[in-house]
Amino acid sequence: MNSQNLQNMGGEENYKRRTAEGVPQRTRKRNKRNKRTNRKKSRKIIVDSRCWGKNKPLEQLWNDLSSFLSVVVIYKGSIPYEIVNMQSNAGSIRSQLIAFDADPRVVAILSAHPMSQPGIKNVYETILYPKAKDKTVDYVITNYNHFFKRAPGSPTTKLMVPH
């Protein structure tokens, strides 16, 4: 290159620095507002009070579970499940749940755990009945994975609540 072109570019040392280092990289990070984030869609809760009276056996099971009078214990092997009546005080209920959790034959404990569901009576209207409709209690219990999930923050690992 001739010297006149080098002076137009800002001198010889500028020319050498630009060619040796190349094009400077972008040092600023992109604006965080431009990043897209994935958001979960919230489940719309529709309370259908007309569901009461349409499936009496399922309602009876739900009333026992929601008042914590009983739990459904699901076993592996020849006995598929058993509905167990719980004792009335909280300490004995916890000890019974821990005993079921320690039993290796028990696969899951179905319950309406009061600490994980704030509006326990509305769960039948919003979650359980819309999925079960006219299914039998035996169908709901044997296909519990479709209707129940593991309870977050529960005292046992096998406790499941409706989802």
Buried b (16+ CB within 10 A) or exposed e, 71-99: bbbbeeeeeebeeeebeeeeeebeebbee
Whether 8 shows a pLDDT value over 60: the answer reads no
- Counting the structural domains of the chain, the total is 1
2: in domain? no
Q: How confident is the model at residue 161 (pLDDT cuts 50, 70, 90)?
A: confident
pLDDT for 121: 60
Q: Model confidence over 66-116: pLDDT tens digits?
A: 888 889 999 998 889 999 998 877 778 888 889 999 999 999 999 886 554
6: in domain? no
145: in domain? yes
76: in domain? yes
130: in domain? yes
Domain ranges, residue 134: 50-162
Which stretch, 24-28, 51-55, 64-68, 70-74, has highest mean pLDDT? 70-74
Q: Which residue has the higher pLDDT, 34 or 72?
A: 72
Distance CA 82, CA 92 (A): 19
95: in domain? yes
7: in domain? no
Q: How confident is the model at residue 136 (pLDDT cuts 50, 70, 90)?
A: very high
142: in domain? yes
